[in-house]
Structure 1
Amino acid sequence: MDASKLLEFLHKEQGELKATLQEAEQLLVQQNQQQQQQQLIHSQELKIDDFFQLLCNGSLNAALYTAVHQDMTQPVSHYYIYTGHNSYLTGNQLNSDCSVVPIIDALRRGVRVIELDLWPTTDKENIEVLHGKTLTDPVDFEKCIVAIKENAFSASEYPVVITLEDHLTTKLQGKAAEIIERVLANLLFCPSAHALEDLEEFPAPETLKGQILISTKPPKEDEDGEKTQAKGSSSVPEEKHEHVAHDNTGAAASVGENQAADKPLHPKYAGIISIPAGKMSGSSFKEVLVVGKTVKRISLSEPQLEKVVEESPELLVKFTQRNIVRVYPSGMRVDSSNYSPILGWTHGAQMVALNMQGYGKHLWLLHGFFKANGGCGYVKKPDFLLEMGKDGEVFDPLKPRPVKTILKVKLLTCLGWKERSSKHHPLPDFYIRMGIAGVPADSVMKKTKVVEDSWTPTWDTEFEFPLTVPELALIRIEVQEEKYMKDDFEGQSCLPISELKSGYRCVQLLDRKGFPLAGVRMLLHFELNTTTSL
């Protein structure tokens, strides 16, 4: 196959209608170079084995677009943002170590929102980061800020947000601000106090490239016009369910003994806040989810999200059209397990925070979702979540809709298992579980037949998925090995359907924690057909 034939293949089979002969020539050269151990061999054709290896090459024939291609000039509230919860923890939520390592790992993945819980040291002279009221071993606050500075833009040039849960004295707030300003220097985005008070629209990711933003509770006017910290916020953990009660609205109500009197907010600390934040504590959903003149960020716990979706989903969707909502896991998830991010996304929540210390299908969905838009950590929300309908209605993920897209997936083969195995390992019996995660009408899981005794299983199976909301759907793939008692997990991948390329594509398989299984990949064929109904 020469370059002209390769170009014909790209046009007819891969749907790459804009591909040029020059690009086909470059692709041919790149594949031959890789096949010859990177030697500079400029062959002008591909042999059949080389062509097959090209199809199974994850870097040259990826299933997703790899560049940032969405409009990045809209307000930050118009984007889903890759968000972690308790970003400093290495394991469970009760007694694991706190460290900069998980912060670094998250940023290198492309995570854009890092959470730090700030507490005074025993002598009240310094600041440490830990999960309060637990046995977690702390890590120094300044070390965390240094780690963020050094790794913030290793995977993406778009802004990083640090959400601070503050349990500090006024004096230590000033020290925290001094550390942040000194370490981050010109990377820190600091609007003026006047601009923060009158903030009617968040800035755009494009204008914030290379910047780090601080989000925490802003100062509050008391009766004398002085700035104070929001009542109880210095000692009542925003996200610790063991320290909050709930009223009959489903909103968290602060326990009286944990409340502290209002205290002055250090002016330096107030000056570094660029995304003002609040919480549901002591208020009903209708009181908090009000679209006002100025914009803000609100935090909802996992149970609170479920409650507001059950009672007033339209409030949440309307609120997130201009404001930011951060959702965090239930305090009962002490093992660092997770909830499904789909519910938050389908109701417009931008910062759906998950525990990244563990693994599981919910975390796989989060990692997969943010492969979109070049993996930059910001994915633009669909227009239907940003606009009102003709009659003022908002998007309802439960509303029946006609099929918009039909996705057909043909499974062909899996490669790379034998190279990772022991020579004495018995021949495996592989099968594939494949399905859709999205709105309830689109969600489904299917299974192939078992291919017995093969390191390189092949299928001739095609699955068809009718999709009513493809913009919010992911395809989820799991490889399992059939066993007598309990089947073994072997690999997985989640891909946003809005970013899928058509044709024959290579999909890299990942382990339980979302890291690549070196050399292990699948060859599949994708076909996407737009329709209005079946």
Structure 2
Amino acid sequence: MATATTSDYAAGGGTTTQALAAKPNKINSKIILGELQKIYTSLCPRGCSTLPVSAFKSYLSGTQRVAIHDAPSGGEEVKETRVQKWVHKVFGHASQAASAEKLLSDDQDITFDEFVSYHATPANSALALPDPRKDWSRPLNEYFISSSHNTYLTGHQLYGSSTTEGYINVLRRGCRCIEIDVWDGDDGEPEVFHGYTLTKEISFKDVCKAVAKHAFSEGGSLWQGDAGEGPVIISLECHAGPEQQEKIVKIMREQWGDMLVQGIDPEDVESLPSPLELRRKILVKAKYLPPPPKVTPIDPTVPRVPPPAVADSSSDSSDSELEELAKKAHKQKPPKTKVTRTLAELGIYCSSHHFPSHAAQPFTDEPTSKIPNHVYSFSEKVFANLHAQHAESIFHHNKDYLMRVYPFGLRFSSSNADPTEFWHRGVQLVALNWQKCDEGMMLNEGMFAGEGGYVLKPESYRPGGIGIHEERRNLDLTIEAIAAANIPLPEKSDSPKRFEPYVKIEVHTETGTGLKKKTKAKRGIECTWNEKLEFKGIAGVIEKLTFVRFKIHDEEFGRDDLAAWACIRLDRLQEGYRFVNLINNEGDPSDGLILVKISKRVY
């Protein structure tokens, strides 16, 4: 799998899919136009060369499953009906004004060019546009949050470059939780790098400057798309000593100013705020250290007893990773760095506590697991072991409290696990290596497409919601792969004449295995398949946690190279004749399109 580029629209954070779906498609392929002509002709009454508006409306409501209501869309003073509002939204471009008026007047037919124009609109993408009524007012623990691991790296985990560009890139792509590994710098100034590797150091101050400049969309008006407005969580993995920890705090306060959440003692937090309350704010996830005991007057008549030593009760999410790296480097892992209270005080809403691993029921019975702002961090390997013992407890814990899971330390090539495994367990912060466009990042793209880095969990995953068994459904899904145009080649040097593409559809569910089907291979970057791929009776489906992945491969001897792909969450997969916008195998947007017909039944 190719390494992702550093483009602001590289896939993974949801901005690529949104950018592709936010503008009308250019449909100039003779093959695509020919297939649309067949659909148009089949809708026209016998003997007619144009499509009556009434027939087009029936097509919209029947085949396309578009809800059209003539009831008013607002109060009594609002004259625009819902159908008018929908028409103006779909045919909103100036060049489509005539089509909009025809649809509203009912007295003229729809021409083929207007029919094509409709199918080219963003509203007709296979991916439904983001819901503008999305609820941003729920507590942080009720959202899945787009997260990055070893954000400073732009390639391999052992010898890739460390750069501020890594932070700029993922923030612009919609990531809302970034990781900063900070160490004592040789010149007395804190530095960011990956311990026990050949990665080069970068200045902690430069990282903070980059975060300050690129954390949020310009203008302060975009919740969804690009960086967005949702709060940014800094997963601070601090390996610096006390002296440089003071500098770390000073730098963050100076560079982030009013954006930094501060001034509240972690012990005073009773509940987590919402992304709306934290709009354009920066939160720090830091190790917890209790405040020093209050000084009381000494009674000379009472024998003095030495105070107990305060153990480091925090956990560092990179401890296990450092241990693996130290073994690889044939070195001894350094002792844990004790956090200063000054730094710990910044972990207001994300306070990293030591996990009580020796307890019989660590997620439910231990006092630490009931602290409102605590965060547990586990490597994917540790999480898997814990889940084998405490599956139900983890799920219920994650309804109320934050959890972060990050890649196992030996994933040196920057590969990723399947993030859906952790989302299904309610983990909010599934940290991925954004350096590579692999299956994990494709699924992350599908989850967060145009969502501004925050997706509200399904109801059964939130406190007080319905039971998870009540939310599970069955699924029948049929996708007819009709035709494609402008398919990007696996390699730029490949010949279009020798390119033999086929479409592969994969359905990702919690329990489903082997849910993959493919078409026969054709030839060229423009081709037709007209093949139906059916998935019947898929059980245990939660729409918001089910993903449909479209992939185009080049059929070859041996391994079939990936040419392009798209990933769409089931709850946003639209029915009818739709266009799937393709991303190339490096994670960059392309002009590639697949014309499909989608039918889904969730019951």
Same fold per TM (> 0.5)? yes
Structure 1 partner of 2:520: 449
The within-5 A match list for 1:345-360 is 345-360=423-438
Matched, 1:13 2:95: no
The corresponding residue for 1:276 is: 351
Task: Classify 1:223/1:266 alpha carbon distance in 2 versus 1 (closer, same or farther; 3 Å).
Answer: closer
Q: Count how many residue pairs are aligned between Structure 1 and Structure 2.
A: 501
Alignment of 1:129 onto 2:179: no
| CA displacement at 1:410 relative to structure 2 | 2.0
For residues 350-499 of structure 1, the aligned pairs below 5 Å read 350-371=428-449, 374-387=450-463, 395=468, 403-417=473-487, 425-441=496-512, 444-452=515-523, 455-467=526-538, 468-471=540-543, 472-499=545-572
Structure 2 residue corresponding to 1:311, chosen from 371, 386, 389:
389
Q: How does 1:252-271 map to 2 (within 5 A)?
A: 258-260=334-336, 262=338, 265-267=340-342, 270-271=345-346
Select the structure that is richer in strand: 1
After TM superposition, give the deviation of residue 29 of structure 1 in Å. 6.1
Equivalent residue in structure 2 for 1:327, among 385, 390, 405: 405
Are residues 151 and 95 of structure 1, via their aligned partners in 2, closer, same or farther at CA, if it must alter by over 3 Å?
A: same
- 1:52 and 1:117 map into 2 onto residues whose CA distance is 51
- Report how far residue 27 of structure 1 moved: 3.7
TM-superposed CA distance for 1:32, in Å, is 3.8
Q: Matched residue of 1:83: which SS?
A: strand
Residues 143 and 417 of structure 1, relative CA distance in 2, 3 Å threshold = same
Give the corresponding residue for 1:39.
none
Which residue type is aligned with residue 351 of structure 1? Answer: L
Alignment CA distance shift 1:318-1:401 (3 Å): closer
Letter in 2 for 1:211: K
Higher RCO (C-alpha under 8 Å, 6+ residues apart) = 2
1:174 aligns with 2:246: yes
Secondary structure (helix, strand or coil) at the match of 1:144 reads helix
Query: Is contact 1:221-1:228 (8 Å) kept?
Result: no
Q: Which amino acid aligns with 2:62?
A: K
Following superposition, the deviation at residue 236 of structure 1 comes to: 7.7
Of 138, 142, 165, the match for 2:205: 142
For residues 368-405 of structure 1, the C-alpha deviation after alignment (integer angstroms, 9 at most, x for no partner) is 1112xx42111111122235799xxx758xxx997433
2:277 matched residue in structure 1? 207
2:576 & 2:433 partners in 1: Cα distance? Answer: 35
Query: What amino acid is aligned across from residue 434 of structure 1 in structure 2?
Result: I
User: Paired residue for 2:143?
Assistant: 79
Cα 1:386/1:418, change in 2 over 3 Å: closer
Q: Percent identity?
A: 25
Which range moved further: 169-178 or 409-418?
Answer: 409-418
Cα distance in 2 for partners of 1:418, 1:365 equals 20
Letter paired with 2:456: K
Equivalent position of 1:117 in the other structure: 181
Residue type of the partner of 1:340? D
Letter in structure 1 aligned against 2:479: V
SS at match of 2:200: coil
Counterpart amino acid of 1:20? V
Whether the 8 Å contact between 1:285 and 1:308 is mirrored in structure 2 is no
Question: SS in structure 2 opposite 1:209?
Answer: coil
Does the CA contact (< 8 Å) of 1:427 and 1:454 recur in 2? no
Task: Provide the C-alpha distance between the structure 2 equivalents of 1:261 and 1:330, rounded to a whole number of angstroms.
Answer: 21
Query: Matches of 1:418 and 1:331 in 2, distance apart?
Result: 34
Distance 2:92 2:276 in 1: 35
1:47 and 1:304 mapped to 2: Cα distance? 60
Tell which deviates more after alignment, 218-227 or 166-175: 218-227
SS in 2 for 1:490: strand
d(CA) in 1 for partners of 2:352 and 2:429?
12
Say which SS state the counterpart of residue 320 (structure 1) adopts. helix
Cα distance in 1 for partners of 2:283, 2:325 equals 28
Tell me the distance in 2 between the aligned counterparts of 1:144 and 1:298: 25
* CA distance in structure 2 between the aligned counterparts of 1:231 and 1:114, rounded to whole angstroms: 23
Structure 2: gaps of 5 or more residues: 1-50, 69-81, 98-107, 218-225, 296-306
Distance 1:134 1:340 in 2: 25
**Residues 1:182 and 1:381: Cα distance change in structure 2 (over 3 Å):** same
2:216 to 121, 132, 153: 153
Tell me the amino acid that sits aligned with residue 470 of structure 1. Answer: I
> 1-side partners of 2:91 and 2:317: how far apart?
62
Question: Counterpart in 2 of 1:108?
Answer: 172
Which residue in 2 is equivalent to 1:88?
152
Equivalent residue, structure 2, for 1:509: 582
Q: CA offsets, 1:143-185, max 9 Å, x none? A: 2112112221222111111110011122222211121111111
Q: What CA deviation, in whole Å up to 9, does each residue of 1:337-361 have, x standing for no partner?
A: 1111121111111101111111211
User: How far off its partner does 1:49 sit?
Assistant: 4.5
How many angstroms apart in 1 are the aligned matches of 2:465 and 2:123? 41
1:222-280 Cα shifts (integer Å, max 9, x gaps) = 678899783686998364242689xxxxxxxxx997325756x1536624643111354
Rounded Cα–Cα distance in structure 2 between residues aligned with 1:476 and 1:370? 14
Q: Distance between the aligned counterparts of 1:29 and 1:198, measured in 2? A: 50
Q: Distance in 1 between matches of 2:493 and 2:158?
A: 38
Query: Per-residue deviation at 1:314?
Result: 1.1
Distance 1:348 1:14, change over 3 A: same
Contact residue 183 and residue 240 of structure 2 kept, 8 A? yes
Tell me: CA distance 1:424–1:93, structure 2 relative to 1, closer, same or farther (3 Å). closer
Distance of aligned partners of 1:244 and 1:297 in 2 relative to their CA distance in 1, 3 Å threshold: farther
Mean CA deviation greater in 5-14 or 100-109: 5-14
Closer/same/farther in 2, CA of residues 232 and 403 from structure 1, 3 Å limit: closer
Deviations 1:300-325 (A, max 9, x none): 11111111121110121121111111
Q: TM-score, normalised by structure 1?
A: 0.83
- Equivalent residue for 2:4? none
Decide whether the 8 Å contact of 1:427 with 1:455 is kept in 2: no
- What amino acid does structure 2 have at the position aligned with 1:78? E
1:521 and 2:521 matched: no
CA 1:513/1:354 → structure 2, altered by over 3 Å: closer, same or farther? farther
Q: Deviations over 1:57-83 (max 9, x none)?
A: 557635222244432211100111101
